Every structure is written in structure tokens, then in C-alpha cells.
Structure 1
Amino acid sequence: MALLSEEEKKQLNKVLAKYPNSEDLDLTEFIAEVIGITGVHTEEGWYNQDINDTHITFYFMSDEDIDFSEDTNENEEYYIQVDIWSKEDCFKLKKKVKKLLKKAGFTYFTGNDQYEVETGIYHKAARFYFSMNVEGEN
């Protein structure tokens, strides 16, 4: 069985078509839309204790200007962390999130899975980076 269904692939293609180039990209909205294809509640930020169901959060760890030419950067690189919070182990959900983000142009570079005994919550973290072309912007 494929990790992404045909419907999820179609949804991803629609999201990607909305952002044909970096100049139009609202990265926060883009990430939320891509992860949202899973059907799991997704929001920017950290664990939301008011949500009792499985949910996904993401936040920007850092960003930097890269690829300089004539004292102007041509690209920006963003580092994000995506966290899955659940009362059950969500191994397949993490694999699906990784697959969606990688197909959307993100590079996965590390992750961490843990079970938080005091809260009974499984916490699955995945870190990615994304490079955005900004050539031509002033």
C-alpha cells in the first residue's frame, strides 16, 4: 500500500500549483497546507494542551541569507521543526508528513521520537530545511 493515496497526491499537486515561485510563497501558509493534507489538525507553534486529539505543530527554528553575489543574497534557507503529539504511537503519520514535505521541496535532516511518561503523550519531531530563491527582490 502506498504511503500517499491518490487523493493526497492530487491535493499536494493543487497546493504546489498555488505557489509557482518563491516570490508568491507565504512559507507558514504553505507548510500548514502541505501538512494539512494528512487531515490532522495542524498549527504553527508548540504543543496545544487544549487539543486532546492527535495534532501537528511546526515552528521556525532559524533562517539565514545564503548564496551571496555582489553583496546580495540570492537565496534564503529556513529550518523548521514539525512535531506530532498523540496519545498513541503515530509512526505512519510521521512517515506521511516526511513524504509530503519532501515532495514539496523540503529536505529532512533529523528527527527524534519520545514518549513523555508524565503526560502520556507520544512526541515525534522531524526537522527540515527549505531553500527559497529571492533573486530579483530588493
Structure 2
Amino acid sequence: MNVRSIITKVLKPLNIPVVFLSYKGEDETYIRFFFYNQAPAFSAEDQEKQTGHYVQIDVFTKSGTEYARLEKGVKDLLVEAGFVFRNQNDDYEPETEIYHKILRFFYAQNTEEE
């Protein structure tokens, strides 16, 4: 299974839209994600055996309560699925009054699984 499908499936229990790259819906709360780096994580005999996927998860919401719930939910679900938490930071977009949580993870996938 590709990593985009894994992320979408793993975050489904949060019950909000989860999209790759761009969100076009009307919901005020949603998750967008993208890969900021994908590179060999392990090679043997000149063959890539594992691909490292560095992914950024962006949580957008106007609700402070949802902001906290989704921060914890995203971290818990992805770590449980084998992703390694790297870092996070907070942002607020005053022109739209949207809270924006940025979470970054690493995921190593065997090339036979891709």
C-alpha cells in the first residue's frame, strides 16, 4: 500500500477530511498532508530496500478544542501505525482566524510494500 493511502486510512477515525496537498471543501476543520522529502532509507547490494518518507501533517481548525484533540489524535494514530514523530509547531492565521498545527513524521517502508 502506498504511504498516501496509509496516512488517509490511519487518520480516518478522526472523522474529518484528510487530503493530500490541497483541500477544496467547505469544512472549517480538516487535515492536509504532503511529503517534504522521500529518499532511500536503507540500501543493500546497490538496491534500495527501504524508502524514507518525511511527511508533514497540517491540521486546520477554528476551534481551540478541536485543535488540541486533533494534535493528540494525529500523533497517537500515526505513531501507533509505525510513523516516527519528528517535531511540531503552532501557527495562527489571523486573516482567516484559523489555528494551524504543523506535525512532521518519518516513515520507513520496505520497497516491496510500495
Q: TM-score, normalised by structure 2?
A: 0.89
Structure 2 counterparts to residues 110-125 of structure 1, below 5 A: 110-125=87-102
Q: Does 1:101 align with 2:78?
A: yes
2:46 alignment partner in structure 1: 71
How many angstroms apart in 1 are the aligned matches of 2:68 and 2:95? 21
1:132 alignment partner in structure 2: 109
Question: Which blocks of at least 5 consecutive residues in structure 2 are unaligned?
Answer: none
How many angstroms apart in 1 are the aligned matches of 2:71 and 2:55? 15
1:42 alignment partner in structure 2: 18
2:33 alignment partner in structure 1: 58
Question: Structure 1 runs of 4+ off > 2 angstroms?
Answer: 48-53
Code of the aligned partner of 1:87: K
Quote the RMSD (CA, aligned, Å).
Answer: 1.9
CA drift of 1:26 comes to 1.8
1:14 alignment partner in structure 2: none
CA drift of 1:50 comes to 4.2
Q: How many aligned residue pairs are there? A: 112
Q: Which has the higher strand share?
A: 2
> Which structure ranks higher in relative contact order (CA pairs < 8 Å, sequence separation ≥ 6)?
2
Rg (Cα) greater in structure:
1
